[in-house]
Amino acid sequence: MPVTSPVVVRSRRVVLPEGERPADVLVRDGRIALIAAHGTLPVEHPGELADLGDTALLPGLVDTHVHVNEPGRTEWEGFASATRAAAAGGVTTVVDMPLNSIPPTTTAAGLAVKRKTAEGQAWVDLGFWGGAVPGNTPDLEPLHRAGVFGFKSFLAPSGVDEFPHLADDAELEAALAEQARIGALAIIHAEDPAVLAAAPQRPGVHYRDFLASRPADAETAAVARLLAAAHRTGARVHILHVSSSAVLPLLRRARAEGVRVTAETCPHYLTLAAEQVPDGGTAFKCCPPIRDEANRDALWQALAEGEFIAVVSDHSPATADLKQVPEYGGSGDFATAWGGIASLQLGLPAVWTEARRRGHTLADVVRWMSAGPAELAGLDAVKGAIAVGRDADLVAFDPDGEFPVRVAELHHRNPVTPYAGRQLTGAVRTTWLRGRAVDPAAEPFGRLLTRPAGAPSGPR
């Protein structure tokens, strides 16, 4: 499909908020101006029409969980490589995590450094989370006024010294109380350090040993502690990257008690399973970990029942040596390998491959990966749907297109992903950002986003 900037995008499979149907979508000044019956909108010149035929038209995905790592650890990932990967995967909006960059986004000055670094390097629209760490409670309100979308905290060590975790209840409550006061969303990595410390720690190449070192009890204990603190403070909280289905009853009970809590899961928890991880397969290492097939089935059931507001990548790459990948001379030792999955370009086809097998529709995938994350970030007035007035962020997606994952064809910086060699179904053909086709070889035109003035932090 040629790279064009059409006035009308036409498809027999347009995924709209009310469902999938044939339609014409009129783009004007970067926004969706009109949605009309298929084949009814006139065009004066052939270049003004992109007729996709049976290729589906989706809204651009919104990925609210991406570790870009620049500045400071740009050899792991950078704004240019990450946002090119995003566009190639149908993601038109990325919200960057406050670590593992140096400085982290825990002060307004740190945010200014990150924004200045990102200028002119974004192939998609780009926003930023702030960080809530011990001692920076006075920084939260200035960061919120500067436009961060909320604040990330860890309840266990983050893995980098410059972003410490909230180690006790006093630190957690102070952070949540301040976020409740200013109306900010708290997004939390929930694993309990005491449970982790008590778990068996066996270095080596066997995935079962690594899995035993990050038990599901670490998630449930941390989530229980967080929900109790949220109940006391009135904070709005969001649980990041839920890997264990054992968390779900806690969330349901808390919601029934009036706690404002949402949760997300990730493509790797929905599409991969512990039984598939080979010895030395450190590309699969993430925290919390990929669990067994029965747990994966339970996550899919919860997703179908609306328990998760979003499916987002948690794209957290590192260099091949840090990942200890045997193919690149690494030891394959799960204990010493960096934990993080590189999947930003592959999330949509990975989820669609498994979703279709389980009887889900493109509309389901759009709800999980576009509409839900847009609502979480408070961007649902402009992102997350093909609807009049929204940004013309659009994706031509071939739901039947099959391809093998070749790392040399991925845009993220380092050639490591657990999807390498897998056959996926669903191919992104063209991505449009505000009506303009994104060309990874051309100049970027993504914008730096701030939380919209007056928009609530988190879902309503």
pLDDT in tens, the chain (460 residues): 334 467 999 999 999 999 999 999 999 999 999 999 999 999 988 789 999 999 999 999 999 999 999 999 999 999 999 999 999 999 999 999 999 999 999 999 999 999 999 999 999 999 999 999 999 999 999 999 999 999 999 999 999 999 999 999 999 999 999 999 999 999 999 999 999 999 999 999 999 999 999 999 999 999 999 999 999 999 999 999 999 999 999 999 999 999 999 999 999 999 999 999 999 999 999 999 999 999 999 999 999 999 999 999 999 999 999 999 999 999 999 999 999 999 999 999 999 999 999 999 999 999 999 999 999 999 999 999 999 999 999 999 999 999 999 999 999 999 999 999 999 999 999 999 999 999 999 999 999 999 987 766 666 6
Non-local (6+) Cβ contacts of 226 within 8 A are 155, 172, 188, 190, 237, 239
- The predicted structure's pLDDT at residue 4: 47
Q: How many CB atoms lie within 10 A of CB 275?
A: 13
User: Both tokens of residue 86?
Assistant: 């995003």
By residue count, the chain amounts to: 460
Q: How buried is 322 (Cβ within 10 angstroms: 0-12 exposed, 13-18 middle, 19+ buried)?
A: buried
User: Both tokens of residue 238?
Assistant: 């969001």
Taking the C-alpha atoms of residue 110 and residue 102, their distance in angstroms, rounded to an integer, is 8
Going by their DSSP bridges, the two strands 49-51 and 8-16 should be labelled as parallel
Non-local (6+) Cβ contacts of 71 within 8 A are 101, 102, 113, 114, 117
Residue 228 sits at φ, ψ, to 5 deg, of: -65, -40
**Rg of the chain over CA atoms, in angstroms?**
21
Give counts: helices (H), strands (E), the chain. Answer: 13, 17
Question: Contact 95/83 with Cβ under 8 angstroms?
Answer: no
Sign of the torsion angle spanned by Cα atoms 294, 300, 301, 307: positive
User: Both tokens of residue 367?
Assistant: 């709800």
- The predicted structure's pLDDT at residue 460: 60
The residues that bridge with 25 in the sheet, in sequence order, are 9, 35
Residue 357 sits at φ, ψ, to 5 deg, of: -60, -30
User: Both tokens of residue 177?
Assistant: 């109380």
The residues that bridge with 430 in the sheet, in sequence order, are 396
* One-letter identity of residue 223: V
User: Both tokens of residue 169?
Assistant: 């209840």
Q: How many CB atoms lie within 10 A of CB 99?
A: 25
CA torsion 130-131-132-133 (nearest 10°) is -150
Taking the C-alpha atoms of residue 332 and residue 207, their distance in angstroms, rounded to an integer, is 10
- The predicted structure's pLDDT at residue 124: 98
Taking the C-alpha atoms of residue 323 and residue 409, their distance in angstroms, rounded to an integer, is 20
For residue 166, which of 137, 130, 132 has the smallest C-alpha distance?
Answer: 132
User: Both tokens of residue 240?
Assistant: 């990041």
Q: How buried is 168 (Cβ within 10 angstroms: 0-12 exposed, 13-18 middle, 19+ buried)?
A: exposed
Taking the C-alpha atoms of residue 40 and residue 268, their distance in angstroms, rounded to an integer, is 41
Question: Contact 362/352 with Cβ under 8 angstroms?
Answer: yes
For residue 87, which of 267, 348, 452 has the smallest C-alpha distance?
Answer: 348
User: Both tokens of residue 234?
Assistant: 């009135």
Question: Contact 211/285 with Cβ under 8 angstroms?
Answer: no
- The predicted structure's pLDDT at residue 2: 39
